Copies of this chain bind each other. A is one copy, B any other.
C-alpha cells in the first residue's frame, strides 16, 4: 500500500512508443519473449505463432525501440567517426568508405569534426562515449597517443595515419614517405632538379613524413636539399596559393613543385596561373591523395594515390572486428602514382 498500483498515476509529458513489443504479444496471443525471439530469430518458434506475430507486426508496422534494445543488449550498433572536417574532400572520401561498410553490417555512423585541434577532438571523443557508441574510428588527428589509449579503455578504437599498439586498438598507418618518394622519383626521372615542396601545416606528422620523403628522394638522386625551395602551406587551397605566390615573388626558380596534398596543388595552380605560368609547360606539379576533383583540374593533376575511400572501408572492417572481439586482419591500401597531364619531361 506504500505506492499505488501503477497505471493509476497520471502519465508525464514524456513521449512514448506508440506500439510496444508487449502490445504485439497481446494481439498475437503470445508472450513478449516469443515476439522477441521471432524478431531476432534467436530460437525456433512454431510456424503458427510466428505467422500471427508477423501479421501483428506488419499490421502496426512495429519497430523495436532502439534505446530499449540497446540497453538490454549492451550495444547500440553505432560507430563514432572522427575526422577533421566533414566538408574536406579528403576526409569526405574516407567517410564514404566507412559509411558503405558499416551500413552493410547494420551499423550507423556518428560523424564529428575535430577541426584540426586537440580540444575539439577531445570533445568529440567524449561525445561519442556519451552517446554510447560501440566503437570509434579516428582519421589521423592531433590527439596524443596517451589520450587515445585512455579512451580505448571505454571502447575499441581504430586510428588511421599512425602506429599505435595498445589493447582494444588497431592502427592503419598511411605510407606518406613512400608516396612522397614515388612523386619525387617521377619528377626527377623527367629531368627536374629544382623541385619546390609546398608543405602542410607545421609539426603535423603526415606533413613531416612527406617532407622526409621529399628529402630522401633528393638525396637518393644526389640533389642538394635547398631549404628555400620549401614553402609552408596549410593543407588547404588557400595555403597552397599563398605559399606558391611567395615562392614565385621571392624569385626562387624551380621547374617543378611537389605539393603535400591535392588541395595545396590546386592553390598552387591558381598562383601559377596568376603569374602567367603554364602547367606543365613552365612548371610541373604533383599532388598527393588523388582527390576525385583532381582529374578535372586544368590540366588534370598527377598525384599520389592511396585510396582514402578504401582506407575508410578497411577502417570500418577493423572496427567491426574489434567490436565483435575478433582481431582485425586488414592492411592499409597500396600506394601508387597516377600520372596525368600536370607533369612533363624537362
Report which A residues bind B (CB closer than 8 A). 14-17, 63-68, 70-71, 73-78, 85-89, 92-93, 95-96, 99, 103, 108-113, 126-127, 129-132, 237, 241, 266-267, 269-270, 273, 292-293, 295-300, 309
A-B contact pairs, 9 of them (CB 8 A): A14-B73, A17-B74, A63-B130, A67-B67, A67-B70, A85-B96, A86-B92, A87-B95, A87-B96
| Known A-B contacts A96-B113, A112-B108; A63 and B14 likewise in contact (beta carbons under 8 Å) | no
Contacting residues, chain B, for A270 (C-beta < 8 A): 296, 298, 300
Contacting residues, chain B, for A66 (C-beta < 8 A): 70, 76, 130-132
Partner of A74, one of B14, B131, B237, B267: B14
Contacting residues, chain B, for A96 (C-beta < 8 A): 85-87, 113
Q: Are B74 and A15 in contact (CB under 8 A)?
A: yes
Copies held by the complex: 2
What is the CA–CA distance of A309 and B87 in the complex, to the nearest angstrom? 10
What is the CA–CA distance of A95 and B85 in the complex, to the nearest angstrom? 10
Q: Are B74 and A16 in contact (CB under 8 A)?
A: yes
| Known A-B contacts A89-B87, A296-B270; A15 and B75 likewise in contact (beta carbons under 8 Å) | yes
| Known A-B contacts A65-B132, A96-B85, A241-B296; A111 and B111 likewise in contact (beta carbons under 8 Å) | yes
Contacting residues, chain B, for A86 (C-beta < 8 A): 86, 92, 95-96, 99, 111
Q: Known contacts A63-B130, A86-B95; can you find 5 more A-B pairs with CB under 8 A? A: A66-B132, A95-B111, A99-B113, A269-B296, A273-B298
Q: How far is the CB of A82 from chain B (nearest CB, A)?
A: 12
Of residues A16, A92, A267, A300, which shows the largest number of chain B Cβ atoms within 10 Å of its Cβ? Answer: A92
Q: How far is the CB of A2 from chain B (nearest CB, A)?
A: 15
Q: Are B109 and A110 in contact (CB under 8 A)?
A: yes
What is the CA–CA distance of A207 and B99 in the complex, to the nearest angstrom? 27
Contacting residues, chain B, for A85 (C-beta < 8 A): 96
Q: How far is the CB of A137 from chain B (nearest CB, A)?
A: 13
What is the CA–CA distance of A89 and B15 in the complex, to the nearest angstrom? 37
Q: How far is the CB of A125 from chain B (nearest CB, A)?
A: 12
| Known A-B contacts A71-B71, A237-B293, A266-B293; A127 and B108 likewise in contact (beta carbons under 8 Å) | yes
